[in-house]
């Protein structure tokens, strides 16, 4: 029996009808090789996060480390970080990305992190 629903079509199937579908046909099915790739990427990400934490501890100031942690790991936006730390949004942006002085880019946690990660050969692929 088929019923109409404005959001989706609902179709009832017998057990026999369900048996005609393979596991791969099911919604949300993940092939074993895809699962292995996803697991490998997850392990690589965990490794990189711990290595990145070491780099952050070594090359960033305390304030830059706080801002980067809240932005990337705490998932806060610049305005929220500014309120949390009692800074202006502009200052948070400068801690993250630096600023231009006399036509030159200076400072910024991201610039330091990119340079040190490149020096160490740390890359997300």
Tokens of 105: 């880019």
- The 10 Å Cβ neighbour count of residue 96 is 20
Structural Rg of the chain based on CA atoms: 24
| Two tokens, residue 62 | 């305390």
Do residues 96 and 78 touch, judged by C-beta distance below 8 A? Answer: yes
State if pTM tops 0.75. no
Boundaries of every domain in the chain: 29-120
29-120 CATH, one of 1.10.10.10, 3.60.9.10, 3.10.110.10, 2.30.30.240: 1.10.10.10
Per-residue pLDDT of the chain (125 residues; tens, 9 = 90+): 556 666 666 677 888 887 887 776 767 777 888 889 889 988 988 888 889 999 999 999 999 999 999 999 999 999 999 999 999 999 999 999 999 999 998 889 999 999 999 999 988 76
Distance, CA of 69 to CA of 90 (rounded, Å): 17
């Amino acid at each position: 029996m088929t019923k109409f629903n404005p959001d989706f079509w609902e179709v009832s199937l017998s057990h026999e009808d369900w048996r005609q579908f393979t596991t791969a046909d099911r919604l949300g099915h993940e092939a074993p090789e895809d699962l292995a790739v996803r697991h490998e990427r997850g392990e690589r990400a965990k490794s990189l996060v711990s290595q990145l934490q070491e780099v952050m501890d070594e090359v960033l100031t305390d304030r830059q480390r706080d801002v980067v942690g809240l932005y990337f790991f705490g998932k806060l936006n610049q305005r929220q970080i500014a309120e949390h730390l009692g800074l202006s949004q502009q200052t948070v942006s400068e801690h993250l990305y630096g600023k231009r002085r006399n036509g030159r880019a200076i400072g910024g946690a991201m610039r330091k992190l990119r340079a040190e990660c490149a020096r160490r050969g740390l890359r997300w692929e």
